[in-house]
A and B are shown apart, each in its own frame.
Chain A
Amino acid sequence: ALSTAALHAEMADDELVINGDTPITVKAPAADHLEGHLDEVYSGWLFRTDETRAMEQDDFDNPIMIFAEQGQETWSTADGSEGKSCADCHGDISEGMKGVRASMPKVNEAGKLWSMEDYINDCRTNRMGAEAWGWDSTPMHNMTTAIAVESRGMPVSVKIDGDAQPFWEKGKEMYYTRYGQLELSCASCHEENYGNYIRADHLSQGQIQGFPVYRLKNAGVVSIHNRFKGCIRDTRAETYSPGSDEFRNLELYVASRGLGLDIEGGGVRP
């Protein structure tokens, strides 16, 4: 209902360079599959205030880096019955995990769509003899953040064709489903109304390449699935659980809407 010009008026005209040396693409032409839906894609970072944007420009000011450091420590700490650490098999995290975040979620060898959390827990339980971490537990947040940092500035590279396509199609269907008593879909807010305000909230395109993010409101790390859970709940709907197949499918589809953007590796959000 609103013109494109009006929408963009409320977005920051700014460039993201982390620590002065890592430029991040936060604005790009939309992928072909979005034709007729979006012309350009934008990071949620552009919709935040000057202060919040500044926090993400410098690791000393970005609260998520404390979590990333803890994840890096765990990376080389042996755990479980096999007495192995992540580093024993993957080497230095900066080499072993480079680009991994950009490709998630992806189909595993058994043909199942897995998120980063699933790959991590598979290594913990099947390769280390250690206990699985909860999807939204502190050690999981620390590790997914530490791994995300290693893909900073790399373009989103999720695969959506071939064996990934059926999952992608299901995620797309979810994205346009009008859930709950408010009958709102992801698109109602993040495609039709990005740039607008819903009460005090400045709506972004709901992209996930900045995740995991540090939310100032909860003073903690928020996973992709946890964000989805909150957004569906806010439509007065019965939501889904983090780690559900539905959210894996949705994650793949939403990730693909960010094709063209770069991984931020730990965003800061209000």
Chain B
Amino acid sequence: MKRHVAWAAMAVTFAASAAIAETAPMDVKFTDVGAVAESLTGQPGDAAKGAEVAATKSLGNCVACHKVSALDASFQGNVGPELNGAADRWDESQLRGIVVDAKHTFEGTVMPAMYKTGPFIRPGDGYTGKAAPADLPPILNARQVEDVVAFLMTLKEE
């Protein structure tokens, strides 16, 4: 009985610390060049999962605008620059900043902020054309952002 309670208490602390470790979209701090130093989850991301997030339309959909040779996705767009070699050009904190909200790195860019919940002008509920719910989630969650960052860190040419 005593052991049971101890386990339960430990599980609660664990959950609480995990929740605290995750940085909410409103709380992300950018450096003056638009970088985000700390992992949003406090954990390293998973590059393989990040590749899937980047290539999937309903998730990051990065291939809509970027060509990434490492990804097996047809019809990669060219609204943004090719991402091959991105890790040679940027360090991890800068790439995280670009994925979270690229407007801090590139003023006025068309690249959408992946980890932002507002304010937006007439936010919608996904691609339905209807109004967004009050608690509109960011396009990617903290874990998915870290996975994409880990994937980007594998894009080296040098």
> Which residues of A are in contact with B by a Cβ distance under 8 Å?
177-184, 188-189, 192-193, 196-200, 203, 229, 232-239
Q: Decide: B123 and A181 in contact? CB cutoff 8 A.
A: yes
Which of B10-18, B71-79, B91-99 lies at the binding interface? Answer: B71-79
Q: Decide: B110 and A193 in contact? CB cutoff 8 A.
A: yes
Give the Cβ gap from A73 to chain B, nearest Cβ, in Å. 34
Q: How far is the CA of A180 from the CA of B64 in the complex (A)?
A: 17
> Which residues of B are in contact with A by a Cβ distance under 8 Å?
57, 61, 63-65, 74-79, 110, 112-113, 116, 120-132, 136, 139
Q: Decide: A237 and B122 in contact? CB cutoff 8 A.
A: yes
Q: From DSSP, what is the main secondary structure of chain A's interface residues? A: loop
Beyond A179-B121, A183-B120, whether A199 also contacts B126 by CB under 8 A is no
Q: How far is the CA of A188 from the CA of B65 in the complex (A)?
A: 12
Give the Cβ gap from A227 to chain B, nearest Cβ, in Å. 13
Q: Of A199, A235, A239, which is within 8 A of B64 by CB?
A: A199
Q: Decide: A183 and B127 in contact? CB cutoff 8 A.
A: no
Q: How far is the CA of A169 from the CA of B108 in the complex (A)?
A: 22
Give the Cβ gap from A236 to chain B, nearest Cβ, in Å. 5
Give the Cβ gap from A244 to chain B, nearest Cβ, in Å. 13
Nearest to B113 among chain A residues (CB) is A183
In the complex, chain B residues whose CB is within 8 Å of the CB of A196: 77-79
Q: List 28 A-B contacts (CB under 8 A).
A: A180-B120, A181-B112, A181-B124, A181-B136, A181-B139, A182-B112, A184-B110, A189-B110, A192-B110, A197-B78, A198-B65, A198-B77, A199-B61, A199-B63, A199-B64, A203-B79, A229-B129, A233-B124, A233-B128, A236-B123, A237-B122, A237-B124, A238-B123, A238-B129, A238-B131, A238-B132, A239-B122, A239-B129
Q: Of A181, A192, A200, which is within 8 A of B120 by CB?
A: A181
Nearest to B128 among chain A residues (CB) is A233
Nearest to B101 among chain A residues (CB) is A183
Nearest to A201 among chain B residues (CB) is B77
Most buried by B among A192, A203, A238, A239: A238
In the complex, chain B residues whose CB is within 8 Å of the CB of A236: 123-124, 126-127, 139
Q: Decide: A178 and B129 in contact? CB cutoff 8 A.
A: no
Q: Decide: A180 and B113 in contact? CB cutoff 8 A.
A: no
In the complex, chain B residues whose CB is within 8 Å of the CB of A181: 112, 116, 120, 123-124, 132, 136, 139
In the complex, chain B residues whose CB is within 8 Å of the CB of A233: 124, 127-129
